Amino acid sequence: MDYYYSGSDGKPKWGMEASGLAAVDLQNKAALHLDMVQTVDRHESETLLEYYGSTIIARKDRLQSISKYIAVDAYFSRQPFVDQMVMNGFDVITRLRKDAKIRYLYRGPREKRRGKPRQFDGYVAVRNLREDVFTPCAIDEDRKWIAYEAIVNVEALKCQVVLVVVHDLDSEGQVNGHRLYMSTDTNLNGGEVLHAYQCRFQQEFLFRDAKQELGLEHCQAYSWQKNDFHFNVAMTVGSLAKAAYHLQVPGQPVRAFSIADVKQRHMNEFQAQRILSLCRLDLDEDLIRNLQQHFSNFGLRNFQRA
């Protein structure tokens, strides 16, 4: 137990903290749970960022068998986390602060002077991009934003990255806001970086479903080992349900997923089969099989036809 920052309340609160690791299917925009790691046994000299990085590195063999990309929010877009990931074979996709200091790379001829060759060509004005460096990579269908990409240097990270600058547009097409995204893999294009970061939010649905329907916060154990088991079971059950009911037909349009509907459907089938068995009716009769869809779908939010 300790004080941890609560995003919903905007301040540190007393309690437990656990970090989620999930694999995201970029094609179907669906996240599947991998591991939930509690913040325990952190050394006094170790910062939270170093601790979070160490939990990922401890699982790097299993994680890198799935993907080398780590998509994280803006909190992680600083050192030592980024260096930890890159040194261990990961590439980081994240969002930068709006006021991040970013430098153009110098591409001109080498100057004939003593000393270190010139590396940078001035700072990036994110709302006044150089057209000879930045190129468009994505645009909103409703023209509410447009994204540009370029390989630049982030001063705080001391490394080259693919930077995606998203300009938010008003009704007249004028820039009224901006967002900055980056990847340490300079071979990715801007559209891929933006899509991967946006799909990161699919993990939020895992937490929502586990909290609302799977009892994520209902464990009353005092040991972190028992809490660890409970947290991971709740999150895993949600992902198994999603794999069974949401990703079952490759290549087909993905249906809306509701963990509440999955629970309701199984409860309907259990109750119907229980009642019919007590009445000593043959469950293999054609009539019962024809009615099964109707009692299975009773009360579902998203009715699914066979």
Instruction: Provide the residue-wise pLDDT of the chain in tens; the chain has 306 residues.
Output: 666 767 777 778 887 788 889 999 888 888 899 999 888 887 888 888 889 999 999 999 999 999 999 999 998 999 999 999 999 999 999 999 999 999 999 887 877 777 788 888 889 999 999 999 999 999 988 889 999 999 999 999 999 999 999 999 988 888 999 999 999 999 999 999 999 999 999 888 888 888 888 888 888 888 888 888 989 998 998 888 888 777 766 556 566 677 777 777 777 777 777 777 777 666 666 666 666 665 565 555 555 544
- Whether residue 280 lies inside any domain: the answer is no
Contact 130, 105 (CB under 8 A): no
Q: Both ends of the chain: CA-CA distance in Å? A: 48
How many helices and strands (H and E) does the chain possess? 8, 12
In the block, which residue shows the tokens 């066979």?
A: 306
The DSSP element (H or E) to which 194 belongs, if any, is helix 190-199
Instruction: Give the type of residue at 126.
Output: V
Instruction: Give the type of residue at 1.
Output: M
CB-based burial label for 297 (10 Å; 0-12, 13-18, 19+): middle
CA 97 and chain centroid, separation = 18
Whole-angstrom distance, CA of residue 280 vs CA of residue 147: 65
The count of structural domains within the chain is 1
> Which residues have CB under 8 Å from 25's CB, separation 6+?
31, 32, 247
- Whether residue 1 lies inside any domain: the answer is no
Whole-angstrom distance, CA of residue 179 vs CA of residue 198: 12
C-beta neighbour count of 286 within 10 angstroms: 7
Whole-angstrom distance, CA of residue 18 vs CA of residue 81: 17
Whole-angstrom distance, CA of residue 300 vs CA of residue 265: 7
Rounded-to-5 percentages of helix, strand, coil across the chain = 35, 25, 40
Instruction: Give the type of residue at 225.
Output: Q
Whole-angstrom distance, CA of residue 132 vs CA of residue 135: 8
Contact 184, 91 (CB under 8 A): yes
- Whether residue 232 lies inside any domain: the answer is no
Contact 164, 180 (CB under 8 A): yes
- Whether residue 48 lies inside any domain: the answer is no
- Whether residue 47 lies inside any domain: the answer is no
Whole-angstrom distance, CA of residue 33 vs CA of residue 21: 6
- Whether residue 39 lies inside any domain: the answer is no
Which token pair is 305?
Answer: 């036809």
- Whether residue 42 lies inside any domain: the answer is no
Residue 185's φ and ψ, nearest 5 degrees, are -90, 105
Question: What is residue 16's predicted lDDT score, i.e. its pLDDT?
Answer: 78
- Beta strand residue intervals within 46-100, DSSP E: 69-71, 91-96
Which range of residues forms the domain containing residue 85?
73-199
